[in-house]
Amino acid sequence: HYSCMGLKIVCLQFNGITERQVESAARDGAESWLDVHAQNGYTPCCAKCEDEITEVITRLKNIPQIEPH
């Protein structure tokens, strides 16, 4: 990964997808690295970011959701 102005970039080679974009896409229902690319308007190029994006999605899925009262 690469950091630029405090943002962790997980897809550096071609698309520049940040960890925040991955988190946002996951909260909006993305279940795979391909979903994250699609929700951000990108086409995957080389799959070098697949593991890191998948790791972020998995981490977010393991955080208990708080339901509003």
What are 8-67's pLDDT values in tens digits?
Answer: 777 766 778 888 899 999 999 999 999 999 999 998 888 888 998 999 999 988 877 666
| Bridge partners, residue 8, by sequence | 3
- Angle (CA) 9 12 15, round 5°: 100
| Bridge partners, residue 3, by sequence | 8
Q: Label residue 47 left, alpha or beta by phi (over 0 means left) and psi (-120 to 50 means alpha).
A: left
What confidence score (pLDDT) does residue 13 get? 66
Residue 27 corresponds to which tokens in the numbers above? 């909260």
